[in-house]
Amino acid sequence: MEYSPPPLFKQGASARAKMVFFALIALVLLGVDSHMRSLAVVRQVISTALYPLQVVALAPRDALYYVGDYFTSLSDIKKENEKLKQQQTLDARSLQQGQQLLAENAQLRELLGTSERLPVKSVLGEILYDTRDAFTRKIVLDRGTQHGVTLGQPVIDHVGVVGQVTRVFPFSSEVTLLTDKNQAIPVQVVRNGLRSVAYGRGQSNVLDLRFMPTNADIQKGDVLVTSGIDGIYPAGLAVATVVQVENKSVDSFARIICQPSAGIDRNRQLLILLTENKLEPRAPDDAKDKNAKQAGILRHAASRTNGTSGKGIDLQPAPPPTAPPVTAPR
């Protein structure tokens, strides 16, 4: 048995006519709603009723969007973190360089002020490197004979004495620091004027006042300055501060340890004082030994001749014998 449509639908309008009809109805409804706002309530009710269905239908899409946004954000955060780390490294390096330049500028200003207050001329030098000998305390500066540097000239910073020039080259010079074990400097106590000599102690970075009696008037905290009696160091330059004094009855001398006032290991620029050695050169040791030997021989010969110990005897060498006068033949 074949199916047949009801009589109402056997004959009717075509599909195109139906489409045109419903399109016209939709246009009319749109026009009426836009001008009269009569369907706003109906639209709100329908949208509210269909909202849960809309949420359920869009849930897969929203989940995909959320996952994609998560990974995208994570990648962006990692890139931004790397950029911030690089920027932080650059900023830290720039900050460190800026602090170093500020410290160097401050030190140069202090050295300039010190140079203006000194009674002698000076030249600014920069430390090139430390010597490789582990048992000495020496540095090399970028100033030499071409800049007026000579042997024995003092080297200071803005606080006090650092060392002394011990070797000179045309464009560099070697400076032995105060703390070197072979270095010594005449000093004077500011409080009472007591004079002594400070010796270096090598790697310990301190100074010793040796051969001072146990009853010497030296106290902890006394300031030591150059005495100026050596003719090399100008008087009044800060040298060290007494940090330890040990007076033991069983010892013949006191044990006095001093801390250098200058920054022995904390400077990059130093001042070389262009002083002149005012002391006359001493006689060679061999000449002294020869004169002493001649005096001893004369004293011994005189004591054997006169039976005395040499007191009251002229020890001057006898004048050379004179030749007898020669008479001309007649």
Q: How many percent of the chain have pLDDT more than 70?
A: 78
Q: Are residues 98 and 127 in the same domain?
A: no
Q: Are residues 221 and 128 in the same domain?
A: yes
Locate tokens 């005189």: which residue?
302
241 in Cβ contact with 259 (< 8 Å): yes
Residue 179 has pLDDT above 50, yes or no: yes
Q: Are residues 104 and 127 in the same domain?
A: no
Side-chain half-sphere CA neighbours of 221 within 13 A: 0
The rounded mean pLDDT for the chain is 80
Q: What is the chain's alpha carbon radius of gyration, rounded to the nearest angstrom?
A: 51
Side-chain half-sphere CA neighbours of 78 within 13 A: 5
Which residues are CB-neighbours of 275 under 8 A, at least 6 positions away? Answer: 120, 153, 154, 232, 233, 234
pLDDT at 308: 44
10 versus 24: the higher-pLDDT residue is 24
CATH number for the domain harbouring residue 153: 2.40.10.340
Distance CA 174, CA 166 (A): 6
pLDDT at 330: 37
Q: How many percent of the chain have pLDDT more than 90?
A: 32
Report helix, strand or coil for 223. Answer: strand
- Domain-located, residue 144: yes
Q: Which of 205, 322, 186, 187 is nearest to 264 (CA)?
A: 205
Residue 317 has pLDDT above 50, yes or no: no
Cβ-based burial of 6 (10 A; exposed 0-12, middle 13-18, buried ≥19): exposed
Say which range, 19-28, 42-51, 132-141, 221-230, has the weakest mean pLDDT: 42-51
Q: Are residues 72 and 136 in the same domain?
A: no
Distance CA 207, CA 16 (A): 116
76 versus 38: the higher-pLDDT residue is 76
pLDDT at 102: 86
Q: Are residues 88 and 170 in the same domain?
A: no
Residue 159 CB neighbours (<10 A): 16
Q: Are residues 130 and 261 in the same domain?
A: yes
Number of domains in the chain: 2
Largest pairwise CA distance in the chain:
200
pLDDT tens digits along 28-54? 877 877 777 766 777 788 888 888 888
- Domain-located, residue 302: no
Range of the domain at 152: 122-273
- Domain-located, residue 314: no
